[in-house]
Amino acid sequence: MRKILPIFIIPILASCSTLQSIETAEVSEVLTADLARADGSWAGVATISQRRDGVFLILSAQAPAAGTYGMHLHAVGKCEAPDFASAGPHWNPDMKQHGRENPTGAHDGDLPNANAGADLKITLKYKLTDITLSGPTGLMDADGGALVIHEKADDYKTDPSGNSGKRILCGVFKSGNRS
């Protein structure tokens, strides 16, 4: 029996490593942002990855309280406490108004609200549509980009920020190209 077992395990392990390399190979660009609170303490991480099947945002963060939070990509890659105003406005290369429910919106930086349960964890995987990561109108233009989480839910229609309140978490995207 012991001699037969390795015969079955080796092909299984080989197929697992093949699957992993296929997934890794489909990623052409990766951006990461460590999120911080106003006091500078670490609050989570956001990753944007360009894959063959689209551009995806993955978020794992710690909220200050259970609830719903507005979240946006901001135009400047700078997160200076205490108010994170240095991140500038929402990333909006097409100069639209805010919100997916606004007939003249939405900004490229408009994202869905994020929810934190009793455990205070925010996790999200979201497919970003019609965005460019690099180039003059890309998120990673000359001054970079940031992810900002606001204190209240975004109403998805009020310009310029959906009545989402103060900026409470911020992270600057840094390139980790995989090309």
Q: Are the beta carbons of 31 and 47 closer than 8 angstroms?
A: yes
Whether the predicted pLDDT of 153 surpasses 90? yes
What is the mean pLDDT of the segment spanning 132-137? 82
- The model's pLDDT over 45-87, given as tens digits with 9 standing for 90+, comes to 999 999 988 899 999 999 999 999 999 999 999 999 999 999 9
CATH architecture observed for domain 27-175: Sandwich (2.60)
CB 138 within 8 A of CB 132: yes
Please give the average per-residue pLDDT across 24-48, as a whole number: 89
What is the pTM for the complete model shown?
Answer: 0.82
The predicted-structure confidence for 62-72, as pLDDT tens digits, reads as follows 999 999 999 99
Domain residue extents for the chain: 27-175
